[in-house]
Each structure stands twice: as C-alpha cells, then as structure tokens.
Structure 1
Amino acid sequence: MAEQINEAYIGSGIVYINGRDVGNCSNVNFAIEQETQSQRNYRGGGGNFASVTNITSVALSMELANFSNANLALALRGVVDVVAAGSVVAENVTAVAGGLAETAKMIDMTDPATTVTVKDETDTTTYVQGTDYEVTAAGLKILSTGSITDGEVLHVDYDNKGTNVLEALVESGSEVRVVLDGINDATGKPVTVKVHRWKPSPTNGLGLISDSFATFSIEGEVLADETIQAAGKSKFFSRAAATA
C-alpha cells in the first residue's frame, strides 16, 4: 500500500512578474471555470450515461500592497516615463485665487525659499513667498490675501524632483510570466508556481486616501502557451512542492 502523505498548507512567498519582484503580495488565487455536458441515461434507473467537463477559462488574481508605478502600470495598462531632476525657468502657470496653480513637474521641496521664484507675465514684479503664495510639490497655493489675481499668468522658476510618471490606460494590455517563489509555512518546505502566460485586466478600483495600509487587486486570464508541446506538461501553469 502506498504511503499516505498529508500536507497542511499556509502559503507565503515572493511574486515575480517577468522577473521583477512586485513586493508585498497577498491573496494569490486561481479561479478555474468549467462547463459540463451530460448525456442522460435512457436505459432505466435515471441519472446520466456519460458526461464531459471542459475547462472554459483559467484566471489568476492577486492583491498588491506595493504602490510602485511599475505595479500600477500593470494594473492600469499604463506606461512609466522617467523625468530627470533639473531646473525649470519661466514656466507659464495660471493663478487660481485661493487654490492651486499647478506646475508641469514636481517641485523639489528641499529648499523652496531659495529655488522658487514667481514673477508676473512681464517679469517686472516678483511675488513674495509666504505673502502671495505658498509652495507645494504640485505647484503654488495662491493666497487670497496676496497680490496675485485670479487668472493671472505667472512666470515660475523652480527646481524639479526626479520622478517616474505613470500614464494610465494608454496600453492595450500585455502578457507576462508569473513565478511564485514560495514556502509552505505549515511545513517549512519550498513551493514554486510558474504561470506561463498571464494577461491582467485593468483593476476595478484604486484607493488613494485611506486610514490604513492600502492594497489594490489585479485580475487576469491565464492563457494557454502553445510552445509547450510535451506530453503531460501543462500549457497554463505548474506547481512544484519539495518532498523532503
């Protein structure tokens, strides 16, 4: 008689997408949908005489806690552009009285008192920080008690931060390879899962302000990999678990 092996499972691990570590990740799940066709038994006694079950779709979902732009690009079918740190001279900015006059790039807040200069459109008047405006990373907060008028065009000099910028929903979606380098915490044994082709769909929600650590979910279909032709090898995914 073959030895019975019982293995409880508590999963954890690192998820790699195209070799990139996506950071802290929870609730990695497969969902397999199937369709069954049955032939009734007409020979007496009821029930079915035959049945066939076909897999109609394989889906993979995961919940990510790492809000990197690389992860968000995957969840939002976006691209990430790199903006180098530098200096901006005489950028045209339209004032919003009592509100935010946004700049094109993120302002470096290291020393805005000396690196930010705001003038009128003719460069004849230099406005005073703390009196006419305040500086934020997103631009200038125009003070209603100052001399800047609503709708006025300003010339703004500032140092900009080096950033990576996510442009959301500009791609049609791409296929990626997913590998879970995991461990069964119940036994201490390593477990790996390899998904050959995963096409994530845009996330259905993204929280930007919260009282606790935020997460976002990504779902997508696992597609058949037709390059895998060996008998007994899955075109969808495989799972390896250490035996000792």
Structure 2
Amino acid sequence: MTANKSFIGLADCYLKPYNVAGAARALGSVSACQLQHQVTELRQRNYGRAGGTLNRTDRLDRVLVALTLQSVSAANLALATRGGITNVSASTVSAEEHTAHLGALIRTAHMNISSVVVEDDAELITYEAGVDYKVTGAGIVPLEGGAISENDPIKISYSFSARVVIEALTQPQTEWTFYFDGLNEAEGGENTAVDLHRIKFGTVQNIDMIGDDYATLQLTAELLVDPTKVGVGESQFYNWAHPSA
C-alpha cells in the first residue's frame, strides 16, 4: 500500500438555495473549480542572536471559490449578473410604431421576428423586404435607395418566437449551497464529493460578448460561516469526502 494519493478532478456541480428546501440545479460544464484560503500570517520574531522565528500563527481571513462556467445558460447568466429571469411566450404584434433612420437598426419590442409587414404611417403603402428594408435578429434596418425616407413614421407588424430575458443587476445577492459531485481521474475514477455549505457569489467582472473562442463565465464566491454546523469537529465552511484507502 502506498501513502501517495494523487488527484485530478472532474465533477458535475450543483447549486441549491442555502438552508431552503429545493432542487439542486446543475451548472452545466465547469472547466475550473478552485478553493482559495486567504490568511494573515502572524510571526513572532526571535530577537536573540540566532534570529529566525519563535512562533507563527495563520489567521483565516476568508475562503473563496473560483469557478469557470462553460455553460452560458439563462440561469447561469442570471447568477453571474444578479439578474431576474422573465419568460416571454410567442405571439404577434400589430402596427408597432417607429421612426425610420436609413441604415440604422430599428429595435423592435421583440427579437427573432418573422412574417414581417412594414407599412407607412397611414397603412396605405406596404414596403418590400430586401428592397426597402432588411430583417435582422433584433429588428429591421431601412435601406438606402428604398422607398422609405429618413425620419418617415412607419408601422411594423410581425410574429415573434418565445424567449428568455435576463434583467441584469436587478436581484439581491443570494446565498447558496454548492455540491461538487466528482471523481478522481488519478485514482481510477473513484468518487469524491465536496459540500460547500454556504456561499455568496460576487457579480461577474467580464463577459466576452464578441471573440474567437467560446465565452465562459468566471465567478468568484465567498464561503460564509454556516451557523447550522455545530457538531464536534464539524466544519462550518466545507467538507471533502472520498473512499477510504
């Protein structure tokens, strides 16, 4: 039997509201999960001829968890941006009023529109798609050289598909329990489980909206003291379990 224990972790990661009954939802693929123990080092210096240190104490300042989420789902975006989620059902819009600006986006009230009809303000002229305007993912763009003139009042009718909207920075920070349901590749794929009892996420710092690589959400959470953990020897921060040797 060897005393060495190697570790290369893979895991499915889950979140549930802290101290509240409810499901633990999967976060999707998590490409990095790191615990960070931040301490203040207190040293008692030896002022004798030998110098050096007489004693040392590490005072725990905080414990952080750094996550890289590969899944940019609506739920994860809401988590990262402290956003609220609104579900909008598919429907239609009739005669939505706008002012035309040539070559500029007219942002319709809904995205992903189809069956588009663009008319003048009196609804006597129907403009031609591809000649007078083009349809985009977020609305329409009046075209130079078409029948629509600058500052013309127009009306747009269309159908739109269902969507999910994240209203960023509208929600308070929430406390969570984090479950690491993992395995250790370095030891034959043995199971390992880590429970982070009570964590609170900070707001994401950067979101790559344009780039050459897949976007990720890089989040940092802080482990808070869990006052419900009062057993002898029980951590108020987290525990890590794996099979006995």
Q: Please give the alpha-carbon distance, in whole angstroms, between the structure 1 residues aligned to 2:222 and 2:228.
A: 18
Match of 2:56 in 1: 51
Q: What is the count of residue pairs matched by the alignment?
A: 237
Deviations 1:66-125 (A, max 9, x none): 1111101111111111111111111123322112111011134xxx3xx21111222222
Match of 2:34 in 1: 29
Q: Please give the alpha-carbon distance, in whole angstroms, between the structure 2 residues aligned to 1:228 and 1:13.
A: 25
Taking the TM superposition and a 5 Å limit, the aligned residue runs for 1:22-171 are 22-41=27-46, 45-108=50-113, 112=114, 115-171=115-171
Q: Please give the alpha-carbon distance, in whole angstroms, between the structure 2 residues aligned to 1:209 and 1:36.
A: 42
Q: Tell me, yes or no, if structure 1 residue 196 matches structure 2 residue 197.
A: yes
**Aligned alpha-carbon RMSD (Å):** 1.7
Q: Please give the alpha-carbon distance, in whole angstroms, between the structure 2 residues aligned to 1:213 and 1:36.
A: 39
Deviations 1:141-161 (A, max 9, x none): 211111112233321111111
Match of 1:6 in 2: 4
**Closer/same/farther in 2, CA of residues 135 and 227 from structure 1, 3 Å limit:** same
Q: What is the deviation of 1:54?
A: 1.2
Q: Please give the alpha-carbon distance, in whole angstroms, between the structure 2 residues aligned to 1:92 and 1:232.
A: 67
Q: Please give the alpha-carbon distance, in whole angstroms, between the structure 2 residues aligned to 1:150 and 1:182.
A: 60
Q: Please give the alpha-carbon distance, in whole angstroms, between the structure 2 residues aligned to 1:230 and 1:44.
A: 46
Q: What is the deviation of 1:174?
A: 1.4
Q: What is the deviation of 1:44?
A: 6.0
Match of 1:233 in 2: 234
Q: Please give the alpha-carbon distance, in whole angstroms, between the structure 2 residues aligned to 1:32 and 1:165.
A: 36
Q: What is the deviation of 1:41?
A: 3.7
Give % identity: 33
Q: What is the deviation of 1:43?
A: 6.4
SS at match of 1:70: helix
Residue type matched to 2:193 in 1? Answer: T
Deviations 1:172-217 (A, max 9, x none): 3211111111110112100111111111111111111222222220
Match of 1:175 in 2: 175
Runs of 5+ in structure 1 lacking a partner? none
Q: Please give the alpha-carbon distance, in whole angstroms, between the structure 2 residues aligned to 1:212 and 1:43.
A: 58
SS at match of 1:214: coil
* Structure 2 length-normalised TM: 0.90
Range with greater deviation from structure 2 (233-242 or 148-157): 148-157
SS at match of 1:7: coil
Range with greater deviation from structure 2 (13-22 or 34-43): 34-43
Runs of 5+ in structure 2 lacking a partner? 17-23
Q: What is the deviation of 1:56?
A: 0.3
Q: Is the 8 A contact 1:107 1:158 kept in 2?
A: no
